[in-house]
Amino acid sequence: MLRVQGKAVHQCDSGWVPVFVDQEQSISLMSVGFLLEKPDEAVVWRGPKKNALIKQFVSDVAWGQLDYLVVDTPPGTSDEHMAVVDALRPYSPLGALVVTTPQAVSVGDVRRELTFCKKVGLRVIGVVENMSGFVCPHCAECTNIFSRGGGEELARHAGVPFLGSVPLDPELTRSLEEGRDFIQGFPESPAFPALSCIAQKILNEAPVGLC
């Protein structure tokens, strides 16, 4: 998605140097994928080793001055999620952005994520519903392929903000797979205003310098 395949992580006096996505070095990235000898290699580690690496990614990477630190985690409430929360706690993290799809199965999983956040004292910035309908590029009619409204209903029941719904868009998928800038390339896409609105709501909650 970010066109950084094959990039390497280097050491400096302050720790690991993250991989920079652009020439301006405005976006830096760290992933266990950079530490593997082969890109298709599986990471078969037990909890303590994984948790130690998560802590290293927070404290031993030379991040420099950041506006925001975004940690992308898979669904779940496992040891890895606990390790992330514990590693970030000294820095007073802003909170969690929770993403679901409309189906009941996904909403049920995310409901447990919200419970996890409550138990560990992590504020929920809001809920986003992804894959929320498909807008036909020819007639602009929206078809709810995976039902609709599950994320908004979940947020209402949990008492957390609902930030918006993002419709399916083949161009968004293609942009991610090809590492292209979707926002710049497809401003007329129905997903564009949804993503822009959600991003602005998050920024309003976390002005630069206050997170």
Q: Is the pLDDT of residue 198 over 90?
A: yes
Least confident of 49-58, 131-140, 167-176: 131-140
pLDDT given for residue 35 in this prediction? 86
User: Which DSSP symbol is given to 146?
Assistant: T
Phi, psi angles (nearest 5°) of residue 134: -125, 120
Spell out where 109-157 has E strands: 124-129, 134-135, 142-143
pLDDT band at 122 (very low <50, low <70, confident <90, very high): very high
Instruction: Give the mean pLDDT of 80-92.
Output: 92
Which residue matches tokens 């998605």? 1
Helix 104-120 to helix 150-158 angle (10° resolution) is 30
Q: How many helices (H) and strands (E) does the chain have?
A: 7, 9
Residue 93's identity, in one-letter code, is P
pTM of structure: 0.87
